[in-house]
Amino acid sequence: MILFFNEIKYVRANMNDKKSYQTNKYFSSIGLGCVTFGREIDWKTSFAIMDFARSRGVTFFDTAASYGNGASETIIGDWLIKQQPEGESIMVATKILPPYTPSNIRQSVHQSLKRLRTPFIDVLYLHRWDPDIESISTLEELHHLVQEGKVRVIGASNFNAAQLNHVLQKQISHRLTYFQTIQNNNNLAVSDVNDEIRDICRQYNIAIVTYSPLGAGFLTGKYHEGATSGTRFSLIPGHQAIYFNEHAFNRLAKLQAVSLNTGYSPSYLALAWALHQQGISSVLVGGRSIDNLEMALSALNFDSLKIFSELESIS
């Protein structure tokens, strides 16, 4: 299995500063989504998944302070200490929630560093849009954290194009460290990565990371009868508002029809489609076992424009 990598440089100050902390960390084409760690799976299973990921060349792990109320970060930190990946080969991203006041940002970063047991955070995402982001003092605090070496790269998660561009212009006009990556939902049923976002990211050399290639399990077809107890959609009811609509179910029906005609499972085709979208630096794949990750590694080698076009041949 050959994985393709996208280099990300750790910019010290602003877009005109050519210095960088180091340039040897990469977004692997498949990233390990760690949302289930400590919430749906235990330490032992989480460790097994991380061990498997590293053995197969997956070097980008993604978590958030809110995942399991910090449990996911803690498990990753324990794994990093125990396994001691050589040469800082694993790049870890985490996310913080509002309020995005300078004091809360600094406190949140401190808490994440403590749980991750690392001296710095490779990639720090603002988990979602909030009006606090428009404050120059907030953007200056993010800039200071990068200058101090506590954070290497800052990014935005779940921003639309207008929000992303608005913040970028403020960061650039004030000569502050600006977003180098965005992380948004992107799958065959629901996508928050449009042409406008792609254009902005091309213009400013921003890496696009996507998550939920299976639509939190929606594209497996297991939610035809609604959200049963213990499933992701029952644990996070907000998913239902996103996926339980006519458009998403029509896309699922198309996926299932193509699956039936080709012999490939819906999950395999959905993963392959997400992994072969242009301009994407990394696709996050998670789950409760190594099965999804193993399937994604296989789907990385599947590339059929005919099948992908057929999957998309519905409004």
Tell me the one-letter amino acid at 104.
Answer: N
Which residues on adjacent β-strands are paired with residue 124? Answer: 94, 154
pLDDT tens for residues 225-276? 665 656 666 556 667 778 888 999 999 999 999 999 999 999 999 999 999 9
pLDDT given for residue 227 in this prediction:
59
The whole model's pTM is what?
Answer: 0.90
Query: Quick one: pLDDT at residue 93?
Result: 98
Compute the chain's Rg from CA coordinates: 19
Q: What is the pLDDT of residue 237?
A: 62
CA distance 184 to 125: 11
Q: Tell whether the torsion through CA atoms of 272, 273, 277 and 283 is positive or negative.
A: negative
Residue matched to tokens 């994407």: 280
Q: How far apart are CA 6 and CA 4, in angstroms?
A: 7
Q: What is residue 10's predicted lDDT score, i.e. its pLDDT?
A: 43
pLDDT attached to residue 246: 92
Q: Could you give the CA distance from residue 38 to residue 47 in angstroms, rounded to a whole number? A: 11
Output the six-digit token pair for 269. 């085709």
Is 288 part of a structural domain of the chain? yes
Look at the chain and report how many structural domains it folds into: 1
Check whether 158 has a pLDDT greater than 90: yes
- Asked if the structure places residue 162 within a domain, the reply is yes
Question: Does the pLDDT at position 209 exceed 60?
Answer: yes
Q: Which residues contact residue 203 at a Cβ distance below 8 angstroms, ignoring those fewer than 6 apart?
A: none
How do strand 5-7 and strand 26-28 relate by DSSP bridges? Answer: antiparallel
Q: Are strands 207-211 and 5-7 parallel, antiparallel or unpaired?
A: unpaired
The predicted model gives 83-104 an average pLDDT of 90
Structural domain of 176: 5-217+275-305
- Taking each helix axis from N to C terminus, what angle separates 136-147 and 102-116, rounded to the nearest 10 degrees? 30
Q: Which helix (H) or strand (E) holds 114?
A: helix 102-116
Return the CATH number at 61.
3.20.20.100
Torsion of CA 16, 172, 20, 179, to 10 degrees: -150
Residue 56 located in a structural domain: yes
314 assigned to some structural domain: no
Is residue 230 in some structural domain? no
Residue 221: per-residue pLDDT? 87
Q: Which residues contact 284 (CB under 8 A, 6 or more apart)?
A: 30, 31, 32, 33, 62, 183, 209, 210, 211, 212, 213
Tokens of 278: 């242009």
Alpha-carbon distances of 221 from 46, 253, 262, 314, rounded to whole Å: 25, 9, 17, 18
Q: Is the pLDDT of residue 126 over 60?
A: yes
Would you say residue 16 has pLDDT above 50? no
How far apart are alpha carbons 302 and 59 in whole angstroms?
Answer: 21
- The pLDDT of residue 21 is 37
Rounded Cα distance, 137 and 133, in Å: 9
Mean pLDDT of the chain: 89
Residue 7: what pLDDT? 55
Asked if residue 24 is part of any domain, the answer here is: yes
- Tell whether 231 is covered by a domain: no
Tens digit of each residue's pLDDT (9 = 90 or more) over 28-80: 999 999 999 999 999 999 999 999 999 999 999 999 999 999 999 999 999 99
Q: What's the confidence (pLDDT) of residue 12? A: 32
Residue 68 near residue 97, CB atoms below 8 Å: no
Contact 219, 270 (CB under 8 A): yes
Residue 312 DSSP symbol: T
pLDDT band (50, 70, 90) for residue 216: confident
**Percent above pLDDT 70 for the chain:** 86
- What are the Cα distances from residue 7, in Å, to 119, 139, 180, 254? 21, 24, 11, 35
Complete DSSP assignment for 129-173 = --GGGG-HHHHHHHHHHHHTTSEEEEEEES--HHHHHHHHHHHHH
Residue 148 lies in a domain: yes
Contact 281, 222 (CB under 8 A): no
